[in-house]
Amino acid sequence: MFNWLLKLFKRPTYTITVSKNTKYGDSDDKSWPNAKKIMVANWKELKFKTVDKKLVHVKDTNGLHYRIEQN
């Protein structure tokens, strides 16, 4: 019962992968496995906070290629 109540208030975490090109799995990919809160997600910028409370801000003038997966 207590675990069920705790799950109602717990926020999900996300795995975010940013690639410089359209192909995922290259050596140019950067991944953050525990993103807690996504603040801005549009085609030119991505801003989120990790579980460690670090603020990550990724920008590109040509547009970003990113993948957000819920854990």
**DSSP secondary structure letter of residue 61:** T
Is residue 2 in a domain? no
Q: List all residues 6 or more positions away from 51 whose beta carbon is below 8 Å from its beta carbon.
A: 13, 34, 35, 36
Q: Which range marks the domain in which residue 42 is found?
A: 11-70
Is residue 3 in a domain? no
Is residue 47 in a domain? yes
Is residue 1 in a domain? no
Residue 46 pLDDT:
96
Copy the structure tokens of residue 63: 């547009």
Is residue 19 in a domain? yes
Positions of the chain with pLDDT lower than 50, given as ranges: none
Residue 52 pLDDT:
94
Number of independent structural domains in the chain: 1
Residue 41 pLDDT:
94
Please answer whether residues 57 and 16 qualify as being in contact, where contact means their C-beta atoms are separated by less than 8 angstroms.
no
Residue 58 pLDDT:
95
Whole-number Å distance between alpha carbons of 15 and 71:
7
Confidence (pTM): 0.79
Is residue 65 in a domain? yes
